[in-house]
Amino acid sequence: MTSRSSQEPLLQVEDLSLRRDGRPILYKVYLTIRRGEIHGLLGLNGSGKSSLAYTLMGCTGYEPDSGHILFDGHDITRLSITERAKLGLTLAWQEPARFEGISVGKYLILGMPEPDRRRAAEALEAVDLSPARYLNRSINHSLSGGERKRIELAAVYAMQPKLAILDEPDSGVDTLSLSDIAALIRRMADQGTSILLITHRDEMVTVADSASLMCQGSIVFGGAPANVRRYYDHRCKVHNETVGVVMPEVIASGAEGSERRAT
């Protein structure tokens, strides 16, 4: 834990389960993120990381069957996306939406408590985009995937939420380098934003203060990022045992993998 984080939990996920179309997606998820903390959530593709992000944000179709989500002292399990956002929670989608006729500048300002063009420009600079070139551009398909991704990160930066869920910020062609993203995440944390960093690239969690490993809809291991990374390196593999579906698998853990294991 770094000096900016405290022991006080900002987000607590308790016994969270979700089924969609009759299939279990999340199963008894427990997760705690402390104030000021950068928490890495590592897992293979299809392990349920994005589903957890959508459930935490309150997206349609991701209403949990059981469990609770506590955020900043509030039970937000049944709150709308807007209500959660107003409490200080936001999400940067893995593949951000595009908008016809909305400028980058307007988009960045939308999430701010008070419109602040200077902050919008600063947010663009934080993701290495020139405000002069981008503030008046439209967030439509004229932007490359990488540009759109950077703007999404800039929007979260500009918003200064209490907790930002960043879903695979490192994915996508033409995106920022890992060190650039790590620097941005640290900068956001220094400004008081806790981060839930979702990734399938284990080197990304080195920026985190703590980490968890997700597998088949559950968090199976948690602790120091280095330990989670090692566990992931040695024990996670993709297998194809379910016909037509690529499912991740964690091989039975050894003694070194027992730092914080889900039940």
Give contact residues for another protein (rule: CB under 8 A): 57, 59-60, 80-82, 84-86, 90-91, 93, 96-102, 110-111, 155, 159
Which of 193, 195, 194, 234 lies closest to 213 in space, CA to CA? 234
What are the C-alpha distances in Å from 28 to residues 53, 81, 215?
15, 22, 12
CA–CA–CA angle 34, 212, 147 (5° rounding): 85
93/232 with CB nearer another protein: 93
CA nearest neighbour of 184 among 124, 229, 130, 132: 124
Cα separation values, 154 from 43, 107, 169, 177, Å: 25, 10, 11, 15
The residue (of 1 and 110) whose beta carbon lies closer to another protein is: 110
Cα 18 to its chain centre, rounded Å, is 18
* Distance of closest approach, residue 102 Cβ to another protein, in angstroms: 4
Run of H or E including 38: strand 38-42
Residue 161: CB minimum distance to another protein, A:
9
Instruction: Pick between residue 69 and residue 250 the one whose CB is nearest to another protein.
Output: 69
DSSP 138: B
66-71 β-sheet, strand order:
23-34, 9-20, 66-71, 74-75
Cα gap 49→42, rounded to integer Å? 8
Q: How many Å is the Cα radius of gyration of the chain?
A: 18
**Of 159 and 236, CB closest to another protein:** 159
Residue 165: CB minimum distance to another protein, A: 9
Query: Are the C-beta atoms of residues 39 and 211 closer than 8 Å to each other?
Result: yes
In the bound complex, what is the minimum distance in angstroms from residue 132's beta carbon to another protein? 21
Q: Of the two residues 28 and 98, which places its CB atom closer to another protein in the complex?
A: 98
Q: Which is nearer to another protein, 62 or 232 (CB)?
A: 62
Closest contact distance (angstroms) between CB of 9 and another protein is: 22
Half-sphere exposure of 236 (CA within 13 A, CB side): 25
Query: Least distance in Å: CB of 138 to another protein?
Result: 8
Minimum distance, C-beta of residue 61 to another protein, in the bound complex (Å): 9
- The smaller minimum CB distance to another protein, of residues 41 and 156, is found at 156
Asked if 12 and 74 touch (Cβ cutoff 8 Å), the reply is no
